[in-house]
A and B are shown apart, each in its own frame.
Chain A
């Protein structure tokens, strides 16, 4: 068990190190997030009162798409250079390795979105008390998407043009998170309590984090045959 935990930590550190050596990989989703959010005031109206009403939905959809963007590369490089086979053959529990990879993916692509989200929310006219709800809901939401997305990425790892397929597989599964997340932000903007949807979102996050690594591990075994 101790060696398994060490393997998990090593894999997590390796993934972070690799990501920071290729910094554009970390920056791309955030830039995408900022750009998509910018499109809405340009397309709809610059009035803050109007933007405030759609801010929750805009932030959530943009974050969902941005974190989807990074998913495609979750296992691809490891699959191409043979690291994935080595992980499968390492004798360590694959479920834990999959969980470590998911955690690393969240740190690289989810966390920057969470950090950027309050700033973007302010530009959309979200009042200050609701900014915490924006950040917390997105932290949970990107966690759910990393967990679900790792299943999709593992299933499509050897597939040509896997990117479009990946969004077709993952987005329907992520819709409940979108519903509760956007609802929580909308409630917080209106000044109401966002506790209910946030708790449901947290429950979804726990469920996804518990079950998804098993599906990811099974999918990796299938993909690596």
Chain B
């Protein structure tokens, strides 16, 4: 199998160019899908017969929660690739992904809290999923703090990558331990494949929002990796040539 494209992808100049070309193709569809999803979720979808209009926060909450986990998976995968095959670009991807993931986690927590007030009567409950999400936020912050504390970029990259891998092994343990500890959160809505527990009118905006958020993450990631490459390769000759074009 010809794998030169893979090696090319791992070199900063190629990735910088590809990411630059890819970003608009991810960003604009993301914006369009999020706008469509918001219109569908906030206007077209019928009000929930139990939760009334309040349930509509689901359209921001669920995609954020989904991404908070997807981004951590991306971060751990990139860290693993960087550690095993010693690909510096992978570390740049992990570092670029971490703040995005932390923000999505924060948004999931904040919207969850806003949703909890009318539904459960309090801003915060020590419920399993909320707590697991909070611990996930701590893991993101730890990753960023460790990376920020070490001056040498290469060493910081690898130390943070080890932490990310330890974290990803721990995530299922944290998830299940917190789950057995306490549970109040409603069951997942669309994991029941085949027979979702909400009607199609409510479901399609959610799926559109999920796709939109995921594309949005991809677009942000490509741009942030580009910025990270700019920072790391600031003295490289290819970058000067690239920017002069």
Contacts and interface: CB of A to CB of B under 8 A. Distances in A.
Interface of A: 148, 151, 155-156, 158-162, 165, 168-169, 171-173, 175-176, 179-180, 183, 200, 204, 207, 211-212, 215, 218-219, 222-223, 225
B135 A222 contact: no
Nearest to A200: B177
Given A159-B149, A179-B178, A204 B173 contact: yes
B158 to A, nearest CB: 5
Contacts of B150: 158-159
Among all A-B residue pairs, the 7 with the closest Cβ atoms: A176-B177, A172-B138, A222-B158, A169-B142, A159-B149, A179-B181, A155-B159
Given A168-B145, A169-B163, 9 more contacts: A159-B146, A165-B149, A168-B141, A172-B135, A172-B167, A204-B173, A207-B173, A222-B162, A225-B154
Given A179-B177, A204-B173, A215-B165, A165 B146 contact: yes
A33 B194 CA distance: 53
Contact of A172 (B139, B165, B180): B139
B174 interface: yes
A53 B165 CA distance: 37
Most buried by B among A171, A176, A223: A176
Given A169-B146, A169-B163, A223 B155 contact: yes
Interface residues of B, number: 27
A168 B159 CA distance: 15
14 contacts: A155-B159, A160-B149, A172-B142, A173-B166, A175-B135, A175-B174, A175-B177, A175-B178, A176-B173, A179-B180, A180-B177, A207-B173, A219-B159, A222-B159
A215 B162 contact: yes
Given A156-B149, A168-B145, A204-B173, A151 B162 contact: yes
Nearest to A204: B173
Nearest to B131: A175
B10 to A, nearest CB: 20
Select the residue from A173, A200, A212 with max chain B CB neighbours within 10 A: A173
B181 A156 contact: no
Contacts of B146: 155-156, 159, 165, 169
A162 B149 contact: yes
B170 interface: yes
Contacts of B154: 225
Interface of B: 83, 135, 138-139, 141-142, 145-146, 149-150, 154-155, 158-159, 162-163, 165-167, 169-170, 173-174, 177-178, 180-181
Nearest to B154: A225
A175 B181 CA distance: 11
Contacts of B167: 172-173
Contact of A218 (B162, B169, B174, B177): B162
Contacts of B159: 155, 219, 222-223
Contacts of B181: 179, 183
A211 B169 contact: yes
B155 A225 contact: yes
B206 to A, nearest CB: 30
B170 A173 contact: yes
A13 B83 CA distance: 33
A168 B162 contact: no
A215 B166 contact: yes
Nearest to B169: A211
A5 B135 CA distance: 38
B171 to A, nearest CB: 10
Contacts of B177: 175-176, 179-180, 200
Contact of B162 (A158, A219, A225): A219
Contacts of A222: 155, 158-159, 162
Contacts of B138: 168, 171-172
Contacts of A173: 166-167, 170, 174
Contacts of A212: 166
Contacts of A159: 146, 149-150
A148 B139 CA distance: 14
Nearest to B139: A172
Interface-central residue, B83, B178, B180, by most chain A CB under 10 Å: B180
